[in-house]
A = this chain, B = another copy of it.
Amino acid sequence: MKNNENKKEFVKEITNIEEDFAQWYTDIVLKAELADYTAVKGFITIKPYGYAIWENIQKYADDKFKERGVKNLSMPVLIPESLLEKEKEHVEGFAPEVAWVTMGGGEELEERLCIRPTSETIFSTMYSKWLSSWRDLPYLYNQWCNVLRWEKETRPFLRSREFLWQEGHTIHETAEEAKEFTLEILEIYADVIENLLAIPVLKGRKTKTEQFAGAEATYTVETLMHDGRALQGGTSHYFGQNFSKPFDIKFQNREGKEEYAYQTSWGISTRLIGAVIMAHGDNRGLKLPPRVAPIQVVIVPVAAHKEGVKEKAEELYKILQEKYRVELDLREQYSPGYKFNDWEMKGVPVRIEIGPRDIEAGKCVVVRRDTLEKIEVNLNELSEKLNEILEEIQKNMYDICVQRVKDKTTIAHNMDEFVNNLNTNQGYVRAMWCGDAECEDKIHEMTGAKSRCIPFEQEHLGDKCVYCGKPTTKMVVWGRQY
């Protein structure tokens, strides 16, 4: 009775993950009801189920930020063109992909305003206005908001003209403090992605080519998806005085002298929902780590019309609600089999099946989404046992991703190996690099791979640049990316 005998009724078919990963991804986004396309080209709506994942990410990260003393605020969504232009590299990086407001209240504007693609310029302007003494520092501020980047090609969550994110912007008394803070935030990002989303990260510094427009240094946490492509999980930038000088963010230091502040910025976005989909999903659909899942446990009664079944399911629901995010599926228009498939598609970590014979035996069947294993559990032990099972699932999902990184990480001593490794394996290729941007460009041209980062954990793979052969000690991780 508890098998998927009704599977044929289930109409939400998806593309095979091994055959067409891109189409599989789109299928999941739509059929797990995470997001939908809208009447505005390149803009999505994040549907309630997808948004609930984002709310869980927000809650987790926001608590960590606040523990570290970060406070939230809200800055204007529009930035005057003249402000955007104040930092040269920054405007070159962002101006081509912004949306411009030229009319307001029925009149043409004197100066056009762009919708923020990121808010360094507007934070810097306010910081310049507010800051006076070293005693005021540091400013550790953040905002959760929407930003726009007018991308040509878009994909839900991964590359959308509008996305939601948090952008933290801090200023400090010393370069050391600012740099240290940049790395502390990177640790929080690693924590979010590893412990909440069950995806291992590779930490390191971006090469100059890949660095944020206007930054001195960009640090990153990189992740690897099911298909072996990399996805940047979050970045944390150290600006030095690159913004504080053109924006005049000065303070009186401990010696009574004027000094420019040292600045950082850092962000994670709704892209992380895309990472969860692509790191964990399979041919049955989405697979959500319990800690971030909007629904951790779904109860599906079997033969719900029989005496006592619905009541027992409701009783369980009430008990479990105290400890878990639970859903009770009493929809009359669907068979249990349909529901099993539906909740698997939505990636709910654990399904509880309960029918008349289970109730008689004082048991129920717990089905794990990650392994599809079925476990008979005594009803009086259920609440406790679920905790164990959910923790196991969280760990197992993480371990699978760790194994993938191992399997898909290779070393290349020359370009033949480099190309060959990528073509058989995708994944991360580790190779020595001379530090020359030209070599980096050539590698990209030849392989389609970009440098992911210069990992904090270096390894001596050889003494020569994989491309030009010049002597070097720098090891870089490369990969094709989202």
Contact = CB atoms under 8 A, between A and B. Distances in A.
A64 to B, nearest CB: 16
A3 interface: no
Contact of A45 (B73, B105, B148): B73
Chain A at the B interface: mostly helix, strand, loop or mixed? mixed
A129 interface: yes
Contacts of A78: 40, 43, 99, 162
22 contacts: A36-B130, A38-B75, A38-B122, A38-B126, A48-B71, A48-B141, A50-B73, A52-B72, A74-B164, A77-B162, A78-B99, A96-B105, A97-B105, A97-B106, A98-B105, A99-B103, A99-B113, A100-B102, A100-B104, A106-B150, A135-B331, A135-B333
Given A43-B76, A333-B135, A102 B103 contact: yes
A324 interface: no
Interface string A317-357: 00000000000000101000000000000000000000000
Given A36-B129, A39-B125, A73 B100 contact: no
A152 interface: yes
Contact of A99 (B39, B74, B101): B101
Contact of A115 (B44, B79, B101): B101
A359 B246 CA distance: 51
Copies in the complex: 2
Nearest to A125: B39
A87 B185 CA distance: 47
Contacts of A208: none
A108 to B, nearest CB: 10
- Indicate the member of A55, A75, A130 with the most B CB atoms within 10 Å: A75
Interface in A43-83: 43-48, 50-52, 54-55, 71-80, 83
A126 B130 CA distance: 43
Interface string A150-166: 11100000000110100
A145 interface: yes
Contact of A102 (B38, B47, B102, B146): B102
Given A44-B76, A99-B103, 10 more contacts: A40-B76, A40-B80, A51-B74, A98-B105, A99-B104, A100-B102, A102-B103, A105-B151, A135-B331, A146-B146
A414 B447 CA distance: 85
Interface string A105-117: 1100000110100
A51 B70 CA distance: 13
Interface of A: 36, 38-40, 43-48, 50-52, 54-55, 71-80, 83, 96-106, 112-113, 115, 122, 125-126, 129-130, 135, 141, 145-146, 148, 150-152, 161-162, 164, 331, 333
Contacts of A36: 126, 129-130
A72 B164 CA distance: 14
Given A105-B96, A126-B45, A77 B38 contact: no
A46 B74 contact: yes
A204 to B, nearest CB: 31
A461 B51 CA distance: 50
A228 to B, nearest CB: 30
A162 B47 CA distance: 24
A43 B75 CA distance: 9
Nearest to A270: B74
Contacts of A152: 105
A80 B39 CA distance: 8
B76 A162 contact: yes
B72 A45 contact: no
A101 B112 CA distance: 10
A115 B115 contact: yes
A427 to B, nearest CB: 32
A303 to B, nearest CB: 21
Given A76-B43, A105-B152, A51 B38 contact: no
